Chain A
Amino acid sequence: MMRRSMETVIDVIVYPIMNVIVFGFISKYLLGSTNQGMFLSLIIAMLFWQVFSTTQYTVSVATLWNMWSHNLTNLFASPLTLFEYFVAHAITALVKAILIFGIGSLIAYLQFGYSVIQLPVLFLLIVMINLYVTGISIGLVLIGFIFAHGTRIQALTWGFVSIIQPLASVFYPLSILPEPFQSIARVLPLTYMFEALRQTILDGAVLPASQQLLISGSLISFLYLVVSILFFKYLISSSRQSGQFAKNDL
């Protein structure tokens, strides 16, 4: 479908790569010569951000494609289960996220001289898995809302990242945020991952403080996944009760 859908190619491939490139140049211009650690942490944050945003976008928009094609009833009139449907999109999201991360990493290495494999492999994997799981969780809840309320809220699928990005302290420390927003940021697993990422790049090693951030963030990510699955099931059930599930296909 990718080669026939320019929207998907632009959204999933072009935008993320351009973000890494443009963000890299801006960071280099502002900080490159004065603060190498900060410069790298900004590029790497943008690179890892793509894992979350690509995952969330892919999981959510795939359902919209089925709605736009009026294909949803056909799908769910087949023996396909919701679990299988979800897993299929989760696998697609994983492939796309790895692809984008790979291309972005290559650009970061070739253009800005930083290799992500300088980070400890286990640390890298934990951060990526957490960002992927959070992307899945939020994507799932967004699909659930679309099933329950229809495509009138479809803009959330591509707009939600813009709401969550400033709150998740992706490019700056949590302490920069005003206090009410810090409280919100503390319940987001993304915040812990990007704090840990920043500290590790600046420290040059995964110190105990970063380890603690990874543990806390992972627990919250897992909690998000469990809650999002339960909430998704509830939204699907209410959508089938209200008749909106089938109406989404018209």
Chain B
Amino acid sequence: MGHILSVEHLTKDFGEFRAVDDISFSIAKGSVVGMLGKNGAGKTTTIRMLLGVTTPTSGAISYFGKNFNSHREPSLQRINYISSYNTLLGRTSVWENLQIYAYLYNTQDHKKKIDELLTYFEVQDIKKKIYEDLSSGQKTRVNLVKSLLNDPELILMDEPTAALDPDIADKTLSLIENWKKEKNLSILYTSHNMQEVTRICDEVLFLSQGKIIEHDTPANLAKKVTKAQLILTFEKDPQLAFEYLKNRAISYEHKAPNQMIIETQENEIPRIIFDISKTGLWMNDITINKPTLEDFFLQISRNTHEIS
């Protein structure tokens, strides 16, 4: 499968500070790649270099097999961009803004196209409104319309739902997912919302101090956090269970009556449950909180070195 985007040894220095450090990755057609990392990890600088608004110190960017530097306009004609931080002209109507971008992207039959997209994203009724008078949710949807005007093969999405409440964010995400399926779109997606990334991304690049330190599927990254949480609720005072855990030097918390919270390796959980059940204690409830991408993010961010 041909790559839509290839990044090779991309580096960006701002004076003495290295914001992006020799990163390489590619995006295949139809795949959604998430880019994660805490603030200052280099995500936004990478996106800006991919858009050509910041010049890399070294390295190469290629879209559709052609060098971006020497094929800027043809490349940008086939991709698009959306960010919650970049909006459209505030004092211009939704329709006028979209017309401007339709002209810039040379969209054929642009009035029909704009109408179709406004209808798809359920914002047809606001097309005559002034952009700055819209709510955050409406602005995001109009920005999405703008990002699809040229039928892009790749969209760079920089925290597109950051300004939205969970309900609107969920709906917006569903619209993106549906559109992606229908059009076989490729997406580079940055977000601080791990659930979003787990939901829509096929693979995740994890950036720290400008470097890609992990590159895997969301599920595989979550598996790299080996500790899980086991919550056991007993019928009566679980004294025998405390003794068992003490003997095996397994740490636990006892916050509620007849309940214990055990932090342990995920693969130890079946054995712990089996051993405690052998003591004759009756368990009313067993809850296992498996590691998620968010746990992985927190672990990396806190630099706990607990990755297997």
Residues of A within 8 A of B (CB): 1, 4-5, 65-66, 68-81, 237, 240-243, 245-246, 249-250
Which residues of A are found within 8 Å of B12, using beta-carbon distances?
A: 243
Residues of B within 8 A of A (CB): 12, 14, 45, 48, 51-55, 72-74, 76-77, 80-81, 83, 85-92, 101, 104-106, 130, 132, 146, 156
Which residues of B are found within 8 Å of A74, using beta-carbon distances?
A: 81, 86-88, 101, 146
- Is A79 touching B104 in the complex (CB atoms < 8 A)? yes
Question: What 11 new A-B contacts, CB under 8 Å, besides A75-B104, A243-B14?
Answer: A1-B89, A69-B132, A71-B87, A72-B86, A73-B51, A76-B53, A77-B76, A78-B104, A80-B104, A81-B73, A243-B54
The number of inter-chain residue pairs (CB within 8 angstroms) is 81
How distant is the Cα of A66 from the Cα of B137 in the complex, in angstroms?
21
Contact of B88 among A5, A71, A81, A250 (CB under 8 A): A71
How distant is the Cα of A245 from the Cα of B90 in the complex, in angstroms?
20
Smallest distance from the beta carbon of A75 to chain B beta carbons, Å? Answer: 7
Which residues of B are found within 8 Å of A5, using beta-carbon distances?
A: 91
Which residues of A are found within 8 Å of B130, using beta-carbon distances?
A: 4
22 A-B pairs with CB atoms under 8 Å apart are A1-B89, A4-B91, A68-B90, A69-B90, A71-B87, A72-B86, A73-B86, A74-B146, A76-B53, A77-B51, A77-B53, A77-B76, A77-B156, A78-B101, A79-B72, A79-B73, A79-B77, A79-B105, A243-B12, A243-B14, A243-B54, A246-B53
Which residues of A are found within 8 Å of B101, using beta-carbon distances?
A: 74, 78
- Is A240 touching B88 in the complex (CB atoms < 8 A)? no
- Is A70 touching B86 in the complex (CB atoms < 8 A)? yes
Contact of B48 among A75, A79, A81, A246 (CB under 8 A): A246
- Is A69 touching B54 in the complex (CB atoms < 8 A)? no
Smallest distance from the beta carbon of A225 to chain B beta carbons, Å? Answer: 24
- Is A240 touching B146 in the complex (CB atoms < 8 A)? no
Which residues of A are found within 8 Å of B45, using beta-carbon distances?
A: 243
How distant is the Cα of A75 from the Cα of B81 in the complex, in angstroms?
10
Interface centre among A65, A70, A246 (most CB of B within 10 A): A246
How distant is the Cα of A80 from the Cα of B51 in the complex, in angstroms?
12
- Is B52 touching A77 in the complex (CB atoms < 8 A)? yes
How distant is the Cα of A5 from the Cα of B130 in the complex, in angstroms?
12
Interface centre among A68, A80, A81 (most CB of B within 10 A): A80
Contact of A240 among B54, B80, B104 (CB under 8 A): B54
Residue of A nearest to B87 (CB): A70
Smallest distance from the beta carbon of A131 to chain B beta carbons, Å? Answer: 29
Which residues of A are found within 8 Å of B55, using beta-carbon distances?
A: 237, 240-241
- Is B51 touching A242 in the complex (CB atoms < 8 A)? no
How distant is the Cα of A74 from the Cα of B79 in the complex, in angstroms?
12
Which residues of B are found within 8 Å of A242, using beta-carbon distances?
A: 14
- Is A77 touching B87 in the complex (CB atoms < 8 A)? no
Smallest distance from the beta carbon of B174 to chain A beta carbons, Å? Answer: 24
Which residues of A are found within 8 Å of B105, using beta-carbon distances?
A: 78-79
Residue of A nearest to B92 (CB): A1
8 closest A-B pairs by beta carbon, nearest first, are: A77-B81, A78-B104, A79-B73, A240-B55, A77-B51, A4-B91, A69-B90, A246-B48
Interface centre among B80, B86, B92, B130 (most CB of A within 10 A): B86
How distant is the Cα of A129 from the Cα of B71 in the complex, in angstroms?
35
Which residues of A are found within 8 Å of B52, using beta-carbon distances?
A: 76-77, 240
- Is A69 touching B89 in the complex (CB atoms < 8 A)? yes
How distant is the Cα of A66 from the Cα of B91 in the complex, in angstroms?
11
Smallest distance from the beta carbon of A143 to chain B beta carbons, Å? Answer: 15
Interface centre among B55, B73, B85 (most CB of A within 10 A): B55
Smallest distance from the beta carbon of B171 to chain A beta carbons, Å? Answer: 23
Which residues of A are found within 8 Å of B89, using beta-carbon distances?
A: 1, 65-66, 69, 71
How distant is the Cα of A108 from the Cα of B276 in the complex, in angstroms?
100
Smallest distance from the beta carbon of A245 to chain B beta carbons, Å? Answer: 5
Which residues of B are found within 8 Å of A66, using beta-carbon distances?
A: 89
Residue of B nearest to A7 (CB): B91
Smallest distance from the beta carbon of A182 to chain B beta carbons, Å? Answer: 42
Which residues of A are found within 8 Å of B72, using beta-carbon distances?
A: 79
- Is B85 touching A77 in the complex (CB atoms < 8 A)? no
How distant is the Cα of A4 from the Cα of B85 in the complex, in angstroms?
23
- Is A245 touching B76 in the complex (CB atoms < 8 A)? no
